[in-house]
Structure 1
Amino acid sequence: MLFFLEKALFVMIFFRVLSGSVEVFAAYLMFRFNDLEKAIIINSSLALIGPFIFILTTIVGLFGIADKISFQKFIFILLGVCLIMFGVLKGE
């Protein structure tokens, strides 16, 4: 059975698989090094990669549906993503 995927959907899937692979590889490195300090460094680097993948996949998805939604909805979605990032990164 042959599936047809939109280009934007394929790119989003690719970035998520890539992100998951990086997460699994980081877990392997933590196991391999068997050191709490190195594990914290590895985990901290994952905290930088996660939001980047989130923003990237959202932008790709929005460009994929840009012709199907109004400009106002597009702006609201981008604003929502920015607020999520602000809330997550701002902390306490």
Structure 2
Amino acid sequence: MFQLFEKAIMSMALLRIISGSIEIFVAILILKFNDIEKALLVNSSLALVGPIILIITTTIGLVGLSERVSLTKLIWIFGGVACILYGVRSS
């Protein structure tokens, strides 16, 4: 059967849609609470969602590329993602 998108592409896009929906939902919650302490608490919970989505999406993409990319390049990509996560956390 004809397939328009690869499974990896669909999975990555779906995760990004879910992530964006969570962001919008949190924005609505912040407006609903109308309290700076609660807004800060809800907003800080997003600090967990972003990196998790990044890691999962990157892993799905790398698994999809694993047949076409050498092991050395995969290690460099994982190293780059690790540097991004370290840079975001160490402020």
TM-score, L = length of structure 1? 0.92
Q: How many residue pairs end up in the alignment?
A: 90
Within a 5 Å distance, the mapping from 1:3-82 to structure 2 comes to: 4-82=4-82
Q: RMSD value over aligned CA atoms?
A: 1.3
**Percentage identity across paired residues of the two chains:** 47
Misfit runs of 4+, over 3 Å: none
Structure 2 residue matching 1:4: 3-state secondary structure: coil
Secondary structure at the residue paired with 2:72? Answer: helix
Distance in 2 between residues matched to 1:64 and 1:22, nearest whole Å: 25
Deviations 1:62-89 (A, max 9, x none): 0011101111101110111111111111
Residue ranges of structure 1 left out of the alignment (5+ in a row) = none
**How far, CA to CA, are the matches of 1:6 and 1:24 in structure 2?**
27
SS at match of 1:69: coil
**How many Å separate the matches in 1 of 2:3 and 2:47?**
34
Inter-partner Cα distance in structure 2 for 1:68 and 1:21: 32
Q: Which residue of 1 aligns with 2:85?
A: 85
Cα distance, 1:67–1:23 mapped onto 2, change above 3 Å: same
Gaps of 5+ in 2: none
